[in-house]
Amino acid sequence: MSDLQMKCLRCSVDMDPGYLADGGHGVNSEVAKWVAGAPDVRWYGVKMKGHDQIPLSAYRCAKCGYVEFRAIAATDI
């Protein structure tokens, strides 16, 4: 994930980088991902195979608590 220097859109102060944890399967945790296209819901959950996936970066303003997510592919930086 990229640690871009982000400024809060509301306060104009630096935002702290982080991530959104996804529950994953069982006791495993993952970083949440952006998935291209509409959700393909099946009886076992959402089918993601064959869809582009990019891990999400999260940035939080320490002053007001505003959170912004970015889906920046490693090839985009």
The 10s digit of each residue's pLDDT in 12-70 is: 999 999 998 887 666 778 888 988 989 889 998 888 888 899 999 999 999 999 999 99
pLDDT over 50 at 2, yes or no: no
For the chain, domain boundaries: 15-76
d(CA 13, CA 16): 10
d(CA 17, CA 9): 15
> What pLDDT is recorded for position 4?
67
3-state secondary structure of 7: strand
First to last CA, the chain: 10
Q: Which residues contact 62 (CB under 8 A, 6 or more apart)?
A: 13, 15, 16
Q: Read off φ and ψ for residue 36, nearest 5 degrees.
A: -70, 145
> What pLDDT is recorded for position 48?
83
pLDDT over 50 at 9, yes or no: yes
